[in-house]
Structure 1
Amino acid sequence: MSTPVKIITTEDGSHSLYHEGLQETYHSFHGAYRESIHVFMIYGLDSWLARNPRKYPIRVFEVGFGTGLNAWLTLVWAEQNQIPVLYHTIEPFPLEKEIYSQLNYIEHDHSIWHYHKYYEALHQFPWGEGGPVSEYFNMKKDQATLEEVQLYPSDVVFFDAFAPSKQPELWKKEILEKVVENMRPGGLFTTYCAMGQLKRDLKELGLEVQTLPGPPGKKEMTRGWKNSDR
């Protein structure tokens, strides 16, 4: 099933996609690349590593493979830091090559251009299988919804679903509970969303919830930590 999308250019010059059915973008129109770095690298992987400097491999679960930007930036992060990452990602409606091959992420940041070959490798990696993509990055891709997928224990959760106003079923407390239950002690949950109901639900599910500065163009975002004794 193809996804009705068109390529757009966000304010930092990086591409994103506009989902015509949902009337929603895959990333912030204020800057797709900057948003991923801010929410998932700086307040995600970097923050987790600061608390757990020698706890490897890092197990990441991503809700929404989408354009593959978060996965690619995580691979680059793993290679640069020489830290093994086990990455589990889900996507019910994968993009076709004619779409993802036109996205400009590998040209956007020339400092990491030499990792360009891995971007297409991530998209071409077989669905339903797991294995190495690079020396420090192993991945499993599931073409499945969050409701039906089997989850594995995770250290870091990238919750990058479409906005609650567009996909409310993915932000229900019972779905969040499934994710939180599979987080390992000391695990981190990070998302661009700053909705009050999300914060309340995560608190009720036992996370230590933090409201943090959002990426450019967005005032706030949300992060949650699972107590190490849970």
Structure 2
Amino acid sequence: MKENLKREIITTSDGSTTIHFPELDEHYHSIHGAINEAKHVFIKSGFDHILGARNFPELNILEIGFGTGLNAFITYLEALRISQKINYIGVEAYPVPLDEIKFLNYVDQLSALNYQTVFDKMHQSSWNDRTMISSSFFLTKRKQLFLDIDDKNCFNLIYFDAFGARVQPELWSVDIFEKMYEALMDKGVLVTYSAKGSVRRAMQEVGFVVERLPGPPGKREMLRATKN
């Protein structure tokens, strides 16, 4: 991803905002609904799925592409609702500037005005430090290239939310998914909005068992991969 590209805030179909790169015709989230996509792909198909199968004293989540913090914030709200302790690691090579974050309307659209300070704290917290967002939610934002990830057997769940393969094909390669496989614990799960055949084959090549699932609004399918 080239730096210094023109960026603009746009409103998606469900009323929530996202960031658009006109030169690339690429968005941080689906234009059919940023919040709807996050809830369907990462919460319903990932977070709810894995917690429906097992109990975790602490759920360890790795997000590939921390971006606007939407997935982290929704995960916080869901974890609060069910009293689940979370250790959340968000990797981002090119952090979104704070002066853009203030134009994102997720707190309002999620009817979570009581948690505005939580959303703010997520973005204002220092990079590469573990921050206590609440007594049961710990966040570490890592400013890091995805190719430099070298975690081993650390995570129960990965939110794979990188820019699309059309724009950054190197982020959807066998090399990257091998790193994801190694980062997961046994029976760990990776979910992503992508359903490309090349992505599915790369996941399978490194050992994942891959499922095609119904996609979020505007997308027919998505993928969920499990480490066996």
Classify the TM-score, shorter chain.
Answer: over 0.9
Q: Which residue of 2 aligns with 1:113?
A: 113
Would the aligned equivalents of 1:87 and 1:139 in 2 still touch at CA under 8 Å?
yes
Q: Which residue of 2 aligns with 1:137?
A: 137
Q: Which residue of 2 aligns with 1:60?
A: 61
Correspondence list, 1:137-176, <5 A: 137-151=137-151, 153-176=154-177
SS at the partner of 2:186? strand
Q: Which residue of 2 aligns with 1:200?
A: 201
Post-superposition Cα deviations, 1:37-80, rounded to whole Å, max 9, x if no partner, equal: 0000000100000111x222110000101111001111111111
2:126 partner letter: P
Shift of 1:131: 2.7
Shift of 1:157: 0.4
SS at the partner of 2:120? helix
Q: Which residue of 1 aligns with 2:14?
A: 12
After TM superposition, the score normalised by the length of structure 1 is 0.94
Shift of 1:149: 3.3
Q: Which residue of 1 aligns with 2:38?
A: 36
Would the aligned equivalents of 1:2 and 1:94 in 2 still touch at CA under 8 Å?
no
2: CA distance between counterparts of 1:3 and 1:64? 17
Show structure 1 runs of 4+ deviating over 3 A: 1-4
Query: Which segment drifts farther, 124-133 or 187-196?
Result: 124-133
Stretches of structure 2 that go unaligned for 5 or more consecutive residues are: none
Correspondence list, 1:65-76, <5 A: 65-76=66-77
Q: Which residue of 2 aligns with 1:27?
A: 29
Shift of 1:16: 0.5
Would the aligned equivalents of 1:131 and 1:139 in 2 still touch at CA under 8 Å?
yes
Shift of 1:134: 1.2
Q: Which residue of 1 aligns with 2:99?
A: 98
Shift of 1:150: 3.9
SS at the partner of 1:190? strand
1:132 partner letter: M
1: CA distance between counterparts of 2:114 and 2:9? 24
SS at the partner of 2:216? coil
Shift of 1:114: 1.8
2: CA distance between counterparts of 1:73 and 1:109? 8
Shift of 1:182: 1.2
After TM superposition, the score normalised by the length of structure 2 is 0.94
> Percent same amino acid among aligned pairs?
36
2: CA distance between counterparts of 1:102 and 1:56? 35
Stretches of structure 1 that go unaligned for 5 or more consecutive residues are: none
Measured at CA, do residues 86 and 98 of structure 1 come closer, stay the same or move farther in structure 2, by a change above 3 Å?
same
